[in-house]
């Protein structure tokens, strides 16, 4: 168990560092897009599959897929709160939106086809309801301790989620595996350092990244009942990587990401 926790605490801070550097290079929209890839929930589902079995993990993956709707509620709540309040007030309001969504998702307990349909509908609708803010100026470079603080906060949040989700059953464990760890750290520091418009850009970028995340969860939930655990995760990661690559082309086409030369 100590090894599992150590891996989680190492992976997430490393990802936060990479996403932070990418955001400074290409902007908050790209940082949000990168942060939505299943690097936090993916390892959690892997460990669930190893410890609880493939059937349990398949149910948890459906819960994690449904929890994309919770993340959309978190992002939309934060975006509108940020138009009026600073980050110390915006974050609790975003958590309130996320908590309400989690309660509704746990009550819904959707099967895989319904979860896929609901998430696709949410990903299509939610971007249309984000506030329109004038683009913020580029944020100044931050000292190294700023990144270290982000990484430490991300590690603490993962630790809290791990302990709270351990004994809650497959559906709720899967939902809480999607707790907005990356979203909290990235949007909080982006709002604090670059303003509300940059925070909204980051949250919009997350919506695009959730297409790959949702693909990962859907393929995993289906393939765990067909193949072994290792092959199911390989298939899920491979298909999600293709979707992430296609979304990167969309970002390039719309000017949010310069093509690499």
Mean pLDDT of the chain: 82
d(CA 170, CA 58): 8
Q: What is the mean pLDDT of the segment spanning 131-144? A: 59
In this prediction, residue 137 carries a pLDDT of 47
Q: Cα separation of 27 and 161, whole Å?
A: 28
Tell me the C-alpha distance between 219 and 236, whole Å.
Answer: 5
Render pLDDT for 237-253 as a digit per residue (tens, 0 to 9).
Answer: 999 989 988 887 877 77
What is the average per-residue pLDDT within 70-74?
94
Report which of residues 125 and 35 the model is more confident about: 125
Q: Which one of 15-29, 38-52, 154-168, 179-193 scores highest in mean pLDDT? A: 179-193
Tokens 């969309």 locate to 250
Look up residue 257 and give its two tokens: 């990401």
Q: Which residues contact 225 (CB under 8 A, 6 or more apart)?
A: 54, 55, 58
Q: Within a 10 A sphere around the Cβ of 148, how many other Cβ atoms?
A: 12
Lowest mean pLDDT among 47-56, 78-87, 138-147, 151-160: 138-147
What is the distance between the alpha carbons of residues 58 and 64, in angstroms, rounded to a whole number?
Answer: 10
Helix axes 54-66, 229-253, angle to 10 degrees: 20
Look at residue 62 and give its three-state secondary structure: helix
> Quick one: pLDDT at residue 135?
55
pLDDT > 90 in the chain, percent? 33
Q: What is the pLDDT of residues 89-105, one digit of tens each?
A: 999 999 999 999 989 98
């Amino acid at each position: 168990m100590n090894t599992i926790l150590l891996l989680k605490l190492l992976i997430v801070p490393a990802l936060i560092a990479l996403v932070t550097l990418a955001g400074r290079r290409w902007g908050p929209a790209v940082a949000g897009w990168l942060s939505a890839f299943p690097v936090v929930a993916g390892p959690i589902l892997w460990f669930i599959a190893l410890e609880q079995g493939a059937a349990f993990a398949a149910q948890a993956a459906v819960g994690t897929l449904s929890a994309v709707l919770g993340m959309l509620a978190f992002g939309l709540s934060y975006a509108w709160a940020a138009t009026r309040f600073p980050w110390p007030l915006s974050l609790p309001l975003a958590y309130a939106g996320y908590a309400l969504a989690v309660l509704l998702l746990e009550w819904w307990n959707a099967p895989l086809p319904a979860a896929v349909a609901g998430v696709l509908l949410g990903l299509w609708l939610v971007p249309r309801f984000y506030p329109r803010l004038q683009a913020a100026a580029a944020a100044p470079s931050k000292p190294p301790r700023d990144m270290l603080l982000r990484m430490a906060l991300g590690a603490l949040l993962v630790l809290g989620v791990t302990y709270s989700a351990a004994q809650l059953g497959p559906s709720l464990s899967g939902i809480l595996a999607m707790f907005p760890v990356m979203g909290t750290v990235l949007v909080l520091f982006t709002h604090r350092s670059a303003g509300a418009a940059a925070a909204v850009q980051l949250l919009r970028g997350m919506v695009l990244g959730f297409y790959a995340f949702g693909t990962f969860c859907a393929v995993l939930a289906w393939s765990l009942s067909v193949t072994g655990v290792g092959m199911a995760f390989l298939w899920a990661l491979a298909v999600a990587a293709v979707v992430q690559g296609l979304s990167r082309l969309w970002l390039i086409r719309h000017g949010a990401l310069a093509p690499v030369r």
